[in-house]
Amino acid sequence: MNPIERALGILLMLSGGRLVPATAIAEKFEVSLRTIYRDVDRLLALGVPVEAERGAVGGYRLADGYLQAPVALTRSETAALLVALAVARGLKATPLVAELDSAQGKLLASMPRAARELLLDGSRLVGIERQPPDIFHGRYDTKSATLSQSAVDAFMSGLLTARRVRFEHRNPSRESSRFYEVEPRAILFDRDLWYLVGHSIDAGDIRMWRADRVISMEVMGMAFRQDREFSVQSMLGRSWLGRAMEQWAQDSEMTRIRMTERQAETLRQDWYYAHALFEPDEDGKVRMTVPDTSPRAMLSLVRWLGPEAELLSPPHLRQQLAEELATMVGRYGDMQARGAVTG
């Protein structure tokens, strides 16, 4: 009997729920106790929950509920799982992707042949497009996919084991990174980005951090009690963004733009600018304040708004915009002059 056949036999012996002495297993398969110990270690490495008890009446058994009846799914239910798996793998970073692969393998093993073949054919039948680029809110290139994956996995490990995490986070508006000690609460996915939601030990309240801006993270030994009252559902509808902007306003430089009421109404419908601060300004106009001074986003926005809008601050963005506009005026002025000469 080879080790694989013996491992299957051990599983069957342990499936009754009672303790089975190692000596009884060894006698059953006519091998040494050392061989049985190696077989059990092999099962544990594969994720089989073998429980052991020491003593004169000790032995091995499987954790309750491990062996279950085959999963009986309809074709439509199998297709629904297929779509869910495709969506999960289409994310920029899939939480616990290795565990997802092993769970899918176990699910496939328990399925009828037709359902198994349909799931295995998923990549051919279901396509998931990535989130298209947002020209106003450019992403920071920090090897984000790799960083997101490792940060989300570590954060989820802390969440599942109720252990604090400590991580280094880089905010583009600051010159240096900062360290945070956090009790994980949840993760949130929005516009192809993962956000980590947790209770900040220093701040004493719930905060959010973009996973792709985490430089490194470790799960600590400090345990905490899970807050059963908290639900990430309370942050959906991008209510989290309004809270985040209030937090960013304390740490970041602000951009102020004067615009018409019509332009302000348009921006109030945008997923991001809807959470900016809009206030009445002189001559019936509106002043928008947002905690973002990135030239790529802010100058693109002002150009898009056109001559009816005015960039009020910060001064360095006004200067940069003025220089760009002067260059454009010179270029188009030269074109007009050449046209007049030609005419």
d(CA 325, CA 270): 26
Task: Specify the range with the lowest mean pLDDT, choosing from 20-24, 144-148, 298-302.
Answer: 144-148
* pLDDT tens digit sequence for 64-111: 766 555 566 776 777 777 777 777 777 767 778 778 877 777 777 667
* Percent of the chain with pLDDT strictly greater than 70: 80
Q: Which residues pair with 279 in a beta bridge?
A: 287
Of the two residues 286 and 65, the one the predictor is more confident about is 286
d(CA 85, CA 120): 11
What confidence category does residue 142 fall into, taking pLDDT thresholds of 50, 70 and 90? very low
> Quick one: 34 and 79 in the same domain?
no
> Quick one: 263 and 298 in the same domain?
yes
> Quick one: 300 and 209 in the same domain?
no
- Does residue 20 belong to any structural domain of this protein? yes
> Quick one: 100 and 85 in the same domain?
yes
Task: Specify the range with the lowest mean pLDDT, choosing from 21-30, 78-87, 120-129, 192-201.
Answer: 120-129
Q: Which residues pair with 50 in a beta bridge?
A: 62
- Does residue 151 belong to any structural domain of this protein? yes
**Span 5-11, mean pLDDT?**
83
What range does the domain containing 217 cover?
A: 144-250
* pLDDT tens digit sequence for 29-69: 889 989 988 888 888 888 888 888 877 677 888 887 665 55
Of the two residues 174 and 96, the one the predictor is more confident about is 96
CB 265 within 8 A of CB 273: no
> Quick one: 89 and 8 in the same domain?
no
Residue linked to tokens 């939480």: 95
* pLDDT tens digit sequence for 233-256: 888 877 777 777 777 666 678 899
d(CA 326, CA 318): 12
For residue 308, the domain's CATH number is 3.30.70
The CA-CA-CA angle for residues 52, 53, 58, to 5°, reads 120
> Quick one: 234 and 279 in the same domain?
no
- Does residue 279 belong to any structural domain of this protein? yes
CB 149 within 8 A of CB 217: no
In this prediction, residue 310 carries a pLDDT of 96
The burial class, CB within 10 Å (0-12 / 13-18 / 19+), for 147 is buried
> Quick one: 116 and 210 in the same domain?
no
In this prediction, residue 117 carries a pLDDT of 74
Among 11, 28, 62, give the residue marking a domain's end: 62
